[in-house]
Amino acid sequence: MKKQISTEKAPGAIGPYSQAIAVGDFLFISGQIPVNPADGTVPEGIAAQTAQSIANIKAILAEAGMTIDNVIKTTVFLADMSLFGPMNEVYAQNFTAPFPARSAVAVKELPKQVLVEIETIAARN
C-alpha cells in the first residue's frame, strides 16, 4: 500500500504528483529543485542551488522518519555538465560512505530555469 508523504518544509507539488511516496520500507522522493519553501526564492549559483535541493530532500526524509543516511539512490539532473564539479562538492558534503548509487545527466531545461534537480530513493535500514 502506498502512502503519500508531504511537508511544508519543502516545496509543494505543483502538478499531479506527490512530494514523496512510501511503499513498504522504501521512500520515493520526486525531483527536488532548489526552491526555498519559506519564500519561493531560488538561490544563485550551482553550489547554493544544490544545497537547497538537498535541504528539501532532508525535510521530506524527516517527515517520513528517515535521514540522509537512508538514501540508497539519487538521480541528479543538471542544466549543463560543466556544473558537475561544483554540484559534486556540495553533494559530497551531505552524504557519507557508503555513498548512494547515483546517476547524473544533463538535460535541455529544468523547471523555473534552475541549474539542478535531485530525485531520491531511500530505504529503512
Could you tell me how far CA 24 lies from the centroid of its own chain? 20
pTM: 0.96
pLDDT score recorded for residue 17: 94
Cα–Cα distances in angstroms (integers) from residue 120 to residues 39, 92, 106, in the given order: 23, 15, 17
Query: Domains (ranges, CATH) in the chain?
Result: 2-123 (3.30.1330.40)
Nearest CA to 39 out of 19, 14, 11, 20 is that of: 11
Residues 6+ apart with CB under 8 A from 15: none
pLDDT tens digits, 15-59: 899 999 999 999 999 999 999 999 999 999 999 999 999 999 999
